[in-house]
Structure 1
Amino acid sequence: MPTPNLPALLDAMTLEEQVSLLTGADFWCTVAIPRLGIPAIKVTDGPNGARGGIFNGGPKTACFPVAIALGSTWDPALIAEAGAALAAEARLKGAGVLLAPTVNLHRSTLNGRNFECYSEDPFLTGEIACGYIRGLQDHGVAATIKHFVCNDSEVERMSIDSVVDERTMRELYLVPFEKAVKDANVQAVMTSYNRINGDFAGDNAPLVRDILRGQWGFDGLVMSDWFAEHATQKSATAGMDLEMPGTTRHRGEALVQAVREGRVSADDVRACAGRVLQLVERVGGFASPGIPDERSEDAPERRALIRRLGAEGSVLLKNDGGLLPLAGTARTIALIGPNVDTAQIMGGGSANVNALHRITPHEGLAAQTDAVLVCVPGADNYRWVPLLQQPMAVDFYTSTDLSGDVAVRAVYPSSEKLWAGAVEPGIDPMHFSARATVEFVPPADGDYQVSITSAGLSRVLVDGVQVIEAWESWAPGDTYFTFGCTERVVSHPLRAGVPVTITVEYSSPTSVPVSFKALRLGVYLPRAEAELAAAEAAARQADVAIVFIGLNAEWDCEGLDRPDMALPHQQNALVERVVAANPNTIVVLQTGAPVELPWLDRVPAVLQAWYPGQECGHAIADVLTGRAAPGGRLPQTWPKRLADVVTSNGDPLRYPGQGGRVVYDEGVFIGYRHHDTHGVAPMFPFGHGLSTTTFAWGEVRVDRTAIEPGGTVTVSVDVTNTGTRAGSEVVQLYVSDPVSGVERPAQELKGFAKLALQPGETGTATITLGMRAFAWFDTARGGWVAEAGAFGLRLGASSRDIRGEAGVTLAGDWFAAA
C-alpha cells in the first residue's frame, strides 16, 4: 500500500472524526475510520513481556526479567537485544505499540513499582531505556516511555500532587525522558496519574507542550495512562493526544462542543489527530491494516536470551570464603525457603503477563547438579492470603443483585479473576453480578485464613453461612490499582478431609466507575513452628544450605507501596536458624527493592536475583553453579535501614505525602547522592556487585586536562581479569564539582562501560564526557550551566569503591538553553 498523505487525510475528516481518533476504541485499540481507510492499531502492556488484550489468563507470552534486573545489567547493548525480542512478542499479540519502558526513579525504597523502574540514577536509567527503545523501534514496534513525570510512589497515585522545584526536576526526573526523546527518538510518551505542581500530568501544558514538545522537539504521540485524563480543554491544548482507554470520558462530544464554542482550537485537535495517524503509519498500520489474532510462540532463542539476562542482572552482594560458585563436592544440598518451589518471575500490576512457563529454583538446580536436593519451605512470604489453585465455577447475571436467570457460566483455573474492559459474552462490565463457587477439601486440621478482595461488591459464604462482608461496607482500598477494596480476612476452623463449599457473591457497580473488575478468594493454613524446625534439621544434615527468600508480586506491585523494608512472616528467623545449623549457607534474595538484612554478618554468601523472568530457576542455577558469572551491579543504593533513606526523615510531606501533596524538598539528593554527600553509610553502595573472578585496574588516563567550553574529555582505564573464571567488570565514572555556585552532590554518575573478560584478558573502558556531564540547571537563566574551574573524574567499581582519579579544568563558563 502506498504511504498515505496524512495532511490530506486530516483535510478529509470531519471534526467529529478527528475527535474520535483522540480516544481509544476500547481498552487496547485506537479508533478506525473505514470511510477513509484509517485502520486501528493495538497497544499492549509491557515492560517485561507483551501481555495482549486479556489481563490475566490470556494467550501465553515470554516473560522477561523485570526492569530493575535489566537496570542491574548496566549493559544497554544487551537490553537492546531484549527490546528486539519484545518487539517480536508484541507482534505475536497483534500490537504495534508496547507500553514501556518505565523510567521513574527510585526516590524511595518502598515504591510499589520500584521493580518496574531501572534505577535511582537518571543517567543509568536513560542509557538503559535508550537501549530498550532502540531494540523495540528498530524492529517496527513503538516504545512508550512512562510515566511522565514524578510518579515515584503509589500512595494516592491517582490524585497526589508531586511538588518539585524546577532544578530537581530537570537534573533528575526529566533526564531519562529527555534522553529517550533526543537520543533514541522514542515514538510515544505516557503521562502519569499524579499531579505535578498542581496540574494533572496529562493536562500539564508547561510539561507536555512547553518542555516535551517545545524544548525537546518531541514529535510523537502522547497518551494518558489508563483513566488518567481529567480535563477536556486543558489536555487537548496541552498536546495530550490520546485518551485511554475507550470509550471516552472527557473527549467525544465534549471536545467537539469545546471546539464549537472556541474553548479549544480546531488546530490543536487537528495536531493531536495528526500525531495519532503518524503513529499508525510508523508502526505499519496503513501498510498492513487489520489486527491479527493473538498467538504464542515458545522460541528457543528468546528462552536463551531471558536466561542470559537473568544471570547478567543477578548481583552477588557477598561471597565470603568463595562459597560461590558451588563446589562439585557438595553431595547434599538443602533447598530451603518459600521460593524453592515457587518461581518468583515478575512483579504485580500492569507489568504482569501469562508466562510461557515458570522454572523454579528447585527445577533449575535439579537440571545442573547430581547432588541430593532436600527441599523444605520453612516460612511464608505472601502479602494476601494465597489463592486456591483449583477450578472456580462462576454464574453470571445481567442484573446487579443476582436476580433473574443465569446468563453465562464459566470456569476459571484459580480463585481469582480480573476483567479489564470485557467480561464474558453478553455481560456488561459495568452492570452485572456473579456467584462464584469452589469446593474445597482441607488437607489438614486448623484455623484457616479466608479472605476476599474485590473491585466490585462482594461477600463470602462457607457452607451457606456468611463469614465476610464487603458489600454494604465496600470502599476503595489498596488493591487492583486502587480500584479494589482492602483485603478482608477472617480465621475459620476447618477439618482435614471434610469438604466445604465456599461461595463468593459479587456485584460490579461501585463508587469507582471504571470497567476494571475483579474478585479474589484466598484460603490458606499458615505455616507454624514445625516448618522452621524442619528447615533447621535439613540444613544441619546438608553440605550446603541455600535459602530462597524475598518478596513477591503482591509486595512489589503497582497500586500500593510497601509498609516497610522488612521481609514478611518468619523469613528472617528462617535464615537465622539455618545459618546457625550450617555455616555453609547461601541466601538467594528475590525482591524488587532493597530490604533489611539483620542476619547479613552471619551469612557468608548472598545473591540478589530480583525477578528474572520465566527462566528464573535456570538463571539462578547458572550463577550458583558457575555456568554463568553474576553480571549485575546495584542500580539502587541498599540502605542499612529504612531511616537512612532520604524520604524517611519523619516528615510526612516528604513521604508518603500529606493533604494530597508530596513535596520533593530533598532536592537533587536521592539515593547515593544523599548517602555520599551526607556521610550515610549504606549496607551496599550504588554500583556494588562482586564477581567470581578478580580484576586488576590500571592507571586512569585522560586525553586532556583542560577543556574549552563546548569541548569533551575522554577518560579510559585498562582492566585485566586476573582470576581463573570469565567475568565482567563495570567501570563507573563519577564527576565531582568541589566549587560550585549551588549545592551539588558529592559526585554524580556520568558514564560507565561494561567489560566482559576471559581469564588473563585485558580490556579498555573508554568514556567520553560532554558539557552536560559537568552542568547543573540554572532556573534563573533557564538552561544548563557548567562553571569554569576544576572537576574531579573518579573511576570506580561502585560509588564507594573508587579505583582511580583524575581531573579536568574547564577554561570558561558554558551555558546551553533548555
Structure 2
Amino acid sequence: MSDRIEQLADRMTLQEQVAILSGEDFWSVPAIPRLGIGKLRVTDGPNGARGGGSLIGGIKSASFPVGIALSASWNVGLVQEIGAALADEVKSKGAHMLLAPTVNIHRSVSNGRNFECYSEDPILTAEMAVAYILGLQGQGIGAAVKHFAGNESEIERTTISSEIDERTLREVYLIPFEWAVKKARTWGVMNSYNKLNGIFTSEHNWLLTKLLRQEWGYDGIVMSDWFGSHSTAGTVNAGLDLEMPGPTRDRGQKLIEAVNSGAVSEAILRQRVVAMLRLMERVGSLDDNRPFVEAANDRPEHRALIRRAGAEAAVLLKNNGVLPLRGDGTIAVIGPNAKTAQIMGGGSAQLNPHYRISPWDGLLDALGEDQLRYGMGCTNHRFEPLLHGKFAVDYFANDSLSGEPVFTTTQEEAQAFWVGSVAEGKVDPSHFSARFTGSFTPEASGEYRVGIYAAGFGKVFVDGRLLADAWTNWVKGRTFFEEGCDEVVGTIPLEAGRSYEIAIEFATKPYSNLGISAFACGIGLPLGDDAIVEAVRLARNADTAIVFVGRNGEWDTEGSDLSSITLPGRQDELVAAIAQANPNTVVVLQTGGPVEMAWLGSVAAVLEAWYPGQEAGNAIADVLTGEAEPSGRLPQTFPVRWSDNPAHSQDREVYPGLDGKVRYEEGVFVGYRHYDKTGTAPLFPFGFGLGYTEFELSELHVDDSEFEANGSVMVSLTVANIGARDGAAVVQLYVSDDQASDPRPAKELKAFRKVQVTAGEARQITMTLDARAFAFYREKARHWLVESGSFTLRLGLSSADLKLTAKLQRNTTLMLPV
C-alpha cells in the first residue's frame, strides 16, 4: 500500500470515509474536494461501454461480440485484444471502471444471461476472464468481474438462495473468480444478487473475506450489484466495500451511526476505505478532476477488430460442401434475422450502437444485389414490434396524471427506461406519471396486435379506445429485470393509410426492488401463411437458400430465463419448408445458446453466429463467402432436447427453483460432464466445430518427470493442416482420474491452444498442466488432493473427438492447501 493512501485515509473525517463507500448517483462515487480526491466513475459492459446513459438511447458506443461468442473463439489473445479496445471505449465515456466480465457458468441451457457468460466449463471461462481483464487493466481501466457467486439463472435472482456444496463451488463455479484474482489481479469484484446457501452474497463473510481475501489474497474492492445491498453493518463487516448505486440506502448516516455504536469497528471501516482509495489510485480517478465528457468515438480499428472477432466466433456445425459460397448463382436470403441485425443480448449489457450491419447488408456488400432475393418468411419477436414516431410526452408530479404537467418533451419511440433523475428532476423518480401521445399510420390493412409491458402501470389507447391494459390487474412477470409485467396484448382492425391517434399512460408502482420505472409499447401485423409460401417460392427458384433464424435480445436477456430452446414462432416450420424446397439450404443461427434442431438432417449447412456485435452482417458474410475461416468451437454443449441438459429435473427445486431455493443437485457434473456421466448423446458436443480445412494431430509426447514431485506435466504434439486452405485448430486437453476415490467426471478440460496453421504446414505446440489439473477438492479435509494411481490425458479437437491419449502414474498422494 502506498504512503499516500495511508495518509489520505488518516486525514479523512468519518463522514468523508463513509461517503466513498457508496455511490453518489447511478454511475459514480463522490469526490472529496477538500482532499483533492476525484470522482470515480463506472460504466456497464461487458460487450461495450455504454456510459452514463439509460439502457435505451443515449450516447452511441461500439458494440463488441457478446461473451459466449468471445468464448467460442477459444482465442485468449483475441479476447485480450478486445479487453484493451474496451479500455479505450471506457475512457471515451469518461469512466474508470468497466462492470465486466461476466463469468457465471452455463449451468442450464435456458439461462437468459448465458449469452453474456463464457461457457459451461470453468477452465475455458477462467482463461477468457483472465485475458479480458489483462487487456482492460493493462490500459489502466479497472475490471469488476461478476457475479460473485452462484448466479446461474435469472429466475427470482434477487431473492433466491443457490444451494451449492463447497466442492462444487470450488471445482466449478469459483474457478473463474479465483483465476481472475490470482492470475489477472482484478481490481474489482461485483457480488451477485442471490443468496448463497441461505446468506445474501453481499453479507457473506466466508465468501467475501475468508475465501476471497484471506485464501486468495485479493486486495481489490467488492461492490454490490445495483441495489444488491441489504444491510449496513452486515455488508460492511462481511467484506462489501462499495454499495451501488447512489444515493445511498444502507450507508451514509446509517453507517456513521453503526460506527459510533460499535456495530462496525473503526478498523473494519478503514479496511474498506483503504480498498476504495487503492482502487482510485490504480484507475487514476484519485487525481482525475477533468470535466466529465462522454464521446461517441467510432474508431476504424475497433470496427475491424469487431468484424474479425465476430467471424472467428462463428461455429460451423454442419456442412455438406455448400459452404463457402461459390460466388455465382442466385441466393434466396430468408428469415426474420436476415434484414434485422441481431448484435447483442438484452439487459444491462445493451447499449446504443454506432450502427448495425444486418446479414442482408453484409451479403449485399460481398456479392452484390443481382444475386440476392429476399423473403422474411416469419417473425421471431417476443414482444410486438416497437412503435416509432414522434410522441409528445407530458410528465406529472403524481401517479394519477392529474393537474397540469410539470415537464413536457418529445421522443421518437414508444418506450422509456427511467433511473435516477426523471424529467430533468421535475418529478420524484419513484412517484410520477406520464402521458405519451402520437399517431400510427399502417402500411397494410389487417387485424393488428397492440402490446405493452411495464415496470409500473401502463395503458394503451387507439383513437380513445383502451386496447391494452397493464394497469388494472398488474401482475409481476419476466420483463425489465423481473420488475415488469409480461406483455398485455389487444387486437384491433386497422386500415392502410389511415392515421390513428395513440395515447399511452404510465404511472409508477409503489415499490420497485431495483429503483427503475419503464415501459415499451408495440404494434404489429402478424405474418400469415402467405409469407412462408412466398419464401418457399424464392428458395425453390434459387441456387442456394440461406435462412437467418434464431432469437434476439428480447429472448436472451437479463431478468428472464427461456421457457424452451425451440426456435420462437414459426421458424422451425420455415426452415423445414425451405429445406424441402431447396437441397442447398444453409441455416444461420443467431442465439445466446443452444436450440433444438428437428430439421437438422434436411439442411445442407448450419452456422451458429451468436450475437457478434455491430459488424454482425459483415462478419457472417465473411464466413459464408470464405473470406474468413469458421474457426469457432462450441463453448456449450448443444443437447438434442431441453430435457437432456444437466439442470433438468422433476424436482422444481433443482430448476427453476422452489420456495426460495435452487439446488445444484448435479454437483460437479455440469455441461459435457453430465452428458458423459449419463451417456446422453448431445446434438453437438462441447468444443465441436467444423472448418473449411482439416487437421491431424500426432506425435504426442508427455514429459512427466516432475509429476511425482509436484504434480506438473508438459505435453507436446504436432498439429498438421492436411486440407487445402489455411485455418485454425483448437487443440483441447482433458484429464481423467482413472480410479478416483470420490465421484469425478469422466474427463475435464484442463488446457487448450488455438493454433493457426497454413495449408500443408505442421506445427508443434506445448501445453503445461499443474497439480490442480489433477486434483479434486475434499470438503471435510479442506484441501485439494491429487491421488495416487493412474491418470489419462486425452487430446483432440472436441470433447467427443479425442484420438490421442497418454497414461500417467503417481505413487503418492499430493495435498494442496486452499
For Structure 1 versus Structure 2, the TM-score category normalised by the shorter chain is over 0.9
Rounded to whole Å, the distance in 2 between the matches of 1:721 and 1:292 is: 52
Matched, 1:789 2:811: no
The 8 Å contact of residues 47 and 351 in structure 1, kept in 2 or not, is answered as yes
Q: How many residues align?
A: 814
Cα deviations by residue, 1:442-488 (Å, 9 ceiling, x for unpaired): 22222211111111222111111222222242343211111222211
The 8 Å contact of residues 456 and 518 in structure 1, kept in 2 or not, is answered as yes
Rounded to whole Å, the distance in 1 between the matches of 2:641 and 2:296 is: 43
Rounded to whole Å, the distance in 1 between the matches of 2:122 and 2:268 is: 32
Structure 1 residue 291 displacement after superposition = 5.2
Give matches, 1:311-710, under 5 Å.
Answer: 311-320=311-320, 322-329=321-328, 331-370=329-368, 371-425=370-424, 426-512=426-512, 514-704=514-704, 707-710=707-710
The 8 Å contact of residues 467 and 491 in structure 2, kept in 1 or not, is answered as no
Rounded to whole Å, the distance in 1 between the matches of 2:355 and 2:642 is: 35
Cα deviations by residue, 1:188-242 (Å, 9 ceiling, x for unpaired): 0000000000111111111001101110010001000001111211110011000
Q: What's the secondary structure of 1:303's corresponding residue? A: helix
Identify the residue that residue 769 of structure 1 maps to in structure 2. Answer: 769
Rounded to whole Å, the distance in 1 between the matches of 2:421 and 2:586 is: 46
Comparing 66-75 with 433-442, which one deviates more in the overlay? 433-442
Q: What's the secondary structure of 1:669's corresponding residue? A: coil
Q: What's the secondary structure of 2:404's corresponding residue? A: coil
Identify the residue that residue 26 of structure 1 maps to in structure 2. Answer: 25
Q: Which amino acid aligns with 1:62?
A: A
Structure 1 residue 403 displacement after superposition = 1.9
Structure 1 residue 428 displacement after superposition = 2.7
Superposed structure 1 runs of 4+ greater than 6 Å apart:
none
Structure 1 residue 4 displacement after superposition = 7.4
Structure 1 residue 518 displacement after superposition = 1.0
Structure 1 residue 115 displacement after superposition = 0.2
The 8 Å contact of residues 552 and 591 in structure 2, kept in 1 or not, is answered as yes
Rounded to whole Å, the distance in 1 between the matches of 2:487 and 2:538 is: 35
The 8 Å contact of residues 42 and 291 in structure 1, kept in 2 or not, is answered as no
The 8 Å contact of residues 738 and 789 in structure 2, kept in 1 or not, is answered as no
Q: Which amino acid aligns with 1:468?
A: A
The 8 Å contact of residues 709 and 810 in structure 1, kept in 2 or not, is answered as no
The 8 Å contact of residues 452 and 488 in structure 1, kept in 2 or not, is answered as yes
The 8 Å contact of residues 702 and 806 in structure 1, kept in 2 or not, is answered as yes
Cα deviations by residue, 1:503-536 (Å, 9 ceiling, x for unpaired): 1111124332543111111110111100000000
The 8 Å contact of residues 237 and 264 in structure 1, kept in 2 or not, is answered as yes
Structure 1 residue 45 displacement after superposition = 0.3
Identify the residue that residue 58 of structure 1 maps to in structure 2. Answer: 58
The 8 Å contact of residues 699 and 804 in structure 1, kept in 2 or not, is answered as no
Rounded to whole Å, the distance in 1 between the matches of 2:374 and 2:580 is: 18
Identify the residue that residue 182 of structure 1 maps to in structure 2. Answer: 182
The 8 Å contact of residues 50 and 93 in structure 2, kept in 1 or not, is answered as yes
The 8 Å contact of residues 140 and 283 in structure 1, kept in 2 or not, is answered as yes
Structure 1 residue 66 displacement after superposition = 0.4
Rounded to whole Å, the distance in 2 between the matches of 1:777 and 1:581 is: 55
Q: Percent of pairs identical after alignment?
A: 50
Q: Which amino acid aligns with 1:391?
A: K
Q: What's the secondary structure of 2:134's corresponding residue? A: helix
Q: What's the secondary structure of 2:285's corresponding residue? A: coil
Q: Which amino acid aligns with 1:354?
A: N
- Unaligned 5+ runs, structure 2: none
Rounded to whole Å, the distance in 1 between the matches of 2:255 and 2:783 is: 36
Rounded to whole Å, the distance in 1 between the matches of 2:791 and 2:274 is: 46
Cα deviations by residue, 1:512-563 (Å, 9 ceiling, x for unpaired): 2543111111110111100000000000000100000000000000001000
Matched, 1:216 2:216: yes
The 8 Å contact of residues 453 and 484 in structure 1, kept in 2 or not, is answered as yes
What TM-score do you get using the length of structure 2 for normalisation? 0.98
Comparing 17-26 with 104-113, which one deviates more in the overlay? 17-26
Structure 1 residue 398 displacement after superposition = 2.0
Q: Which amino acid aligns with 2:812?
A: G
Q: Which amino acid aligns with 1:377?
A: M
Comparing 611-620 with 511-520, which one deviates more in the overlay? 511-520
Rounded to whole Å, the distance in 1 between the matches of 2:579 and 2:339 is: 20
Rounded to whole Å, the distance in 1 between the matches of 2:182 and 2:223 is: 19
Structure 1 residue 720 displacement after superposition = 1.1
Matched, 1:13 2:15: no
Q: What's the secondary structure of 1:792's corresponding residue? A: strand
Q: What's the secondary structure of 2:366's corresponding residue? A: coil
Rounded to whole Å, the distance in 1 between the matches of 2:806 and 2:618 is: 42
Identify the residue that residue 744 of structure 1 maps to in structure 2. Answer: 744
The 8 Å contact of residues 209 and 239 in structure 1, kept in 2 or not, is answered as yes
Rounded to whole Å, the distance in 2 between the matches of 1:273 and 1:81 is: 33
Give matches, 1:715-754, under 5 Å.
Answer: 715-754=715-754
Structure 1 residue 803 displacement after superposition = 2.2
The 8 Å contact of residues 394 and 405 in structure 2, kept in 1 or not, is answered as yes
Structure 1 residue 649 displacement after superposition = 2.1
Q: What's the secondary structure of 2:717's corresponding residue? A: strand
The 8 Å contact of residues 4 and 286 in structure 1, kept in 2 or not, is answered as no
Comparing 378-387 with 169-178, which one deviates more in the overlay? 378-387
Residues 340 and 118 of structure 1: CA distance in aligned 2, closer, same or farther (over 3 Å): same
Q: What's the secondary structure of 1:478's corresponding residue? A: strand
Rounded to whole Å, the distance in 2 between the matches of 1:111 and 1:753 is: 28
The 8 Å contact of residues 706 and 712 in structure 2, kept in 1 or not, is answered as no
Rounded to whole Å, the distance in 1 between the matches of 2:492 and 2:224 is: 44
Q: Which amino acid aligns with 2:254?
A: A
Q: What's the secondary structure of 1:647's corresponding residue? A: coil
Rounded to whole Å, the distance in 1 between the matches of 2:675 and 2:515 is: 44
Comparing 267-276 with 181-190, which one deviates more in the overlay? 267-276
Q: Which amino acid aligns with 1:239?
A: G
Rounded to whole Å, the distance in 1 between the matches of 2:803 and 2:392 is: 62
The 8 Å contact of residues 113 and 558 in structure 1, kept in 2 or not, is answered as yes
Structure 1 residue 781 displacement after superposition = 1.2
- Unaligned 5+ runs, structure 1: none
Q: Which amino acid aligns with 1:341?
A: K
Cα deviations by residue, 1:351-395 (Å, 9 ceiling, x for unpaired): 001101100101101111145210111011111111013233211
The 8 Å contact of residues 277 and 286 in structure 2, kept in 1 or not, is answered as no
Rounded to whole Å, the distance in 1 between the matches of 2:472 and 2:249 is: 27
Identify the residue that residue 271 of structure 2 maps to in structure 1. Answer: 271
The 8 Å contact of residues 40 and 291 in structure 1, kept in 2 or not, is answered as no
Q: CA RMSD in A?
A: 1.2
Rounded to whole Å, the distance in 2 between the matches of 1:674 and 1:392 is: 52
The 8 Å contact of residues 346 and 554 in structure 2, kept in 1 or not, is answered as yes
Rounded to whole Å, the distance in 1 between the matches of 2:378 and 2:685 is: 29
Residues 343 and 457 of structure 1: CA distance in aligned 2, closer, same or farther (over 3 Å): same
The 8 Å contact of residues 397 and 404 in structure 1, kept in 2 or not, is answered as yes
Rounded to whole Å, the distance in 1 between the matches of 2:292 and 2:495 is: 50
Q: What's the secondary structure of 2:129's corresponding residue? A: helix
Residues 80 and 291 of structure 1: CA distance in aligned 2, closer, same or farther (over 3 Å): farther
Q: What's the secondary structure of 2:183's corresponding residue? A: helix
The 8 Å contact of residues 706 and 809 in structure 1, kept in 2 or not, is answered as no
